[in-house]
Structure 1
């Protein structure tokens, strides 16, 4: 083997090493992008799941608030009836008290 053959073999080795290195770097970059893309998809799926859960929670809270509103309206109506009945009872008691006062004055 001559000197030129040694140089050609060395140049060929450098070329193969250079192309291999370039291919490795290119593969690493593309692999990294695919992994980032996969991670991003996974993150989006988790975010969507959280949004769905939050939407369900909000719907449940709205339903609970409506139930509380109905209950409050019912209680308000019942309190109004009780206040009216209480006022009528006090009026009757006042009339009975006045009658008793008149009867006691009449006996004296």
Structure 2
């Protein structure tokens, strides 16, 4: 059912992004927008006094956004937690871009 507020909601659209990996290779990957509550949870986790909460915040954000071309999740949380550091940084940049956030901005 469509409403006059549809444009305020997270889209189900899958966004294609070419991601340059740490080794210089490029890969076409897919991402979905995340709801504000997921993004807010990421921001709160980044400020946590708990090292484990801060350390896993990027993996949780990546896992929530990265998907297959059909929109199904691409990674489990366990897989996202095992990403290489350079790869994780590039994926977060893509997630932020898809969600209308410039890397380094909180709001």
- TM interval, shorter chain, is under 0.3
Question: TM-score, with normalisation over the residues of structure 2?
Answer: 0.18
TM-score of the superposed pair, with normalisation by structure 1: 0.18
Q: Which structure's residues are more often strand, by fraction? A: 2
Q: Of the two, which has the highest radius of gyration?
A: 1
